[in-house]
Structure 1
């Protein structure tokens, strides 16, 4: 069996301990600099107070100052930090990963640059590896919530990386009767797809908030939510082409969009915006929570606007993204641009 060290004890990394431990591997869970309270509680009774689940007895817990010990003898390293920990992981952890040990990430998001370029995190890390490093970086993406995974709900994700052989080894380590894994070498496509879904989950969830202010008849407004879902998939597919990903990866974007709209922080932000709350009020309501949807929507909108300014794309392709950007960053109120969604296909 293998030894797997997961760094960052957030919800998804902690949920991955279930298939790993149940496959007979030695599992080491390391807290980030922000996770000391989580690790303290896990050491008491294996209960994760953010995941709201009890982890298997027999998992080894480490605080960040013990990370070197946790990496000794590891066969696989999992990056489980949020997007705000990308540079910390690059500077503090990657140089410590033993040579020949692959790293696989559950961190979702993209970086944007002034020229409109968007870059997924595995590419960013690869570009900034220490001189002489031969580290192979892989990533996980797809429609999988941490609590459902911990509860053994059937989950179907994708692993991506530069070579299939190592991915097959990783799949053997992670896969179970309920955790199903496809493999792809399209790193940009898979990672961009599952990053974009957070911003578009926010946009789709606007309809949920609008429902709450359109009378007390209990009508679910499924048409408007479905329309926003549909527009989200269309815009995400266009963005996948823009960053150089395969159109096939839209399946992971759509699946992840569906599960994210069903619940979580991205849905909450969109719902509150639909109800008319300002971002200041939303930040107060969700104090202490990492709002990945706000980050990725803002970065993607900046990239699209830069490319449009350079004459490389037509900004009219992305009316929902532009509306979400105005809600988040210009204080506008919800006024969904339905007419701008209409197209003519000849």
Structure 2
């Protein structure tokens, strides 16, 4: 039996307690400063107020000020913050983790650099004072938290610099419903799954456009599929730009698929497609964390820098550029369908 300390009681981290606990490990779940009510509720009856699931009896719960106690004796740490908690995690958590204990993160996203390159969160953490010398690994792939908690078959990838460490982490979580591949291509896996949020917003525009035309509940699959396909095409190009293995597109495309079918990103895309301005849509979703806005803005900014440097043409990413226009320039939805047309001769 191993001891696994989960830091961050968000929905995905909390869902991952199911395979870990069912494998016989001691599970300690630590809340961030934003998770106080979640931890209070779990201590009462094991019910997670956001995941809407009852966690296993026997899991130990800790408030953020009890973090160091929860880390003592741990064999592995799972980081469960959103992309908005990346800096907090670097400053408040990484320095407390022993250098010989591997970290596995569920946080998805990337940071754009002045030269147009994109940095993964594991790379960012490795460069911080608290992250130096740590084994920082991450999870990517199509997996929603509530379906994982319900034991629906899910296929993901654990990525990191050392395959032996990845095999160890895999042994902690793998079950007959949670299937894990391992990859040392960190930038490839992380880029593929980070981009899905930006493009899920783009695909969801078609949902709103259909509802604007025919009423709430109307569905047009042709337009959604066209945007999905264009999204995958652009994601592949971006994957090549960062130097990731092309095969990682399966994680990004799969993650894009599940994201389009529900959640916060679908909501914002649908509202924009119905005709709401970005500001109006954000007002309606007040208080909702929207990582899709962050990754779309950062990726578009990186592409525009690469275009200015003469390395790539932003016209190769028409869907991304249009999403950026909508959320950062206030332009109305007007899908650039003609720009999706391509010619292959041979």
- Aligning the two structures, in what range does the TM-score lie when normalised by the shorter sequence? over 0.9
Distance 1:243 1:87 in 2: 23
The DSSP-based 3-state class of the residue aligned with 2:101 is: coil
Alignment of 1:48-87 (within 5 A): 48-87=48-87
| 1:34-56 deviation digits (Å, cap 9, x = unpaired) | 11111111111111111111111
Matched, 1:172 2:168: no
Contact persistence 2:141–2:252 (CA under 8 A): yes
How far is the alpha carbon of 1:129 from its aligned partner?
Answer: 3.9
**Normalised TM-score (structure 1):** 0.98
In the alignment, what sits opposite 2:153?
Answer: 154
Q: Which ranges in structure 2 are unaligned for 5 or more consecutive residues?
A: none
How far is the alpha carbon of 1:134 from its aligned partner?
Answer: 2.3
Distance change in 2, residues 1:312/1:209 (3 Å): same
Contact persistence 2:9–2:80 (CA under 8 A): yes
In the alignment, what sits opposite 1:127?
Answer: 127
In the alignment, what sits opposite 1:334?
Answer: 333
How far is the alpha carbon of 1:284 from its aligned partner?
Answer: 2.1
Distance 2:212 2:229 in 1: 22
The DSSP-based 3-state class of the residue aligned with 1:177 is: coil
In the alignment, what sits opposite 1:235?
Answer: 234
In the alignment, what sits opposite 1:212?
Answer: 211
The DSSP-based 3-state class of the residue aligned with 2:138 is: strand
Distance change in 2, residues 1:217/1:289 (3 Å): closer
In the alignment, what sits opposite 2:323?
Answer: 324
In the alignment, what sits opposite 1:2?
Answer: 2
Distance 2:77 2:130 in 1: 17
The DSSP-based 3-state class of the residue aligned with 1:263 is: coil
Over the aligned positions, Cα root-mean-square deviation in angstroms equals 1.2
| 1:147-180 deviation digits (Å, cap 9, x = unpaired) | 0000000010000011111111111100011000
| 1:199-229 deviation digits (Å, cap 9, x = unpaired) | 0000011111011011249652100000000
Distance 1:144 1:84 in 2: 20
In the alignment, what sits opposite 2:225?
Answer: 226
The DSSP-based 3-state class of the residue aligned with 1:213 is: helix
Distance 1:80 1:256 in 2: 18
Distance 1:189 1:181 in 2: 16
How far is the alpha carbon of 1:115 from its aligned partner?
Answer: 2.0
With 252-261 and 270-279 compared, the bigger mean Cα shift is at 270-279
Q: Which ranges in structure 1 are unaligned for 5 or more consecutive residues?
A: none
With 217-226 and 155-164 compared, the bigger mean Cα shift is at 217-226
In the alignment, what sits opposite 2:139?
Answer: 140
Distance 1:180 1:330 in 2: 41
Distance change in 2, residues 1:136/1:147 (3 Å): same
The runs of at least 4 consecutive aligned structure 1 residues that moved more than 4 Å come to 216-219
How far is the alpha carbon of 1:231 from its aligned partner?
Answer: 0.1
The DSSP-based 3-state class of the residue aligned with 2:244 is: coil
How far is the alpha carbon of 1:9 from its aligned partner?
Answer: 0.5
Contact persistence 2:102–2:137 (CA under 8 A): yes
Q: May I ask how many residue pairs the two structures share in their alignment?
A: 345
Matched, 1:285 2:284: yes
Distance 1:216 1:47 in 2: 37
Alignment of 1:289-300 (within 5 A): 289-300=288-299
Distance 1:15 1:129 in 2: 30
Alignment of 1:181-260 (within 5 A): 181-216=180-215, 220-260=219-259
In the alignment, what sits opposite 1:114?
Answer: 114
Distance change in 2, residues 1:284/1:217 (3 Å): closer
Matched, 1:95 2:95: yes
In the alignment, what sits opposite 2:301?
Answer: 302
Distance 1:82 1:255 in 2: 20
Distance 1:24 1:321 in 2: 44
Distance 2:319 2:93 in 1: 37
The DSSP-based 3-state class of the residue aligned with 1:205 is: helix
The DSSP-based 3-state class of the residue aligned with 2:312 is: coil
Contact persistence 2:83–2:291 (CA under 8 A): yes
Distance change in 2, residues 1:297/1:227 (3 Å): same
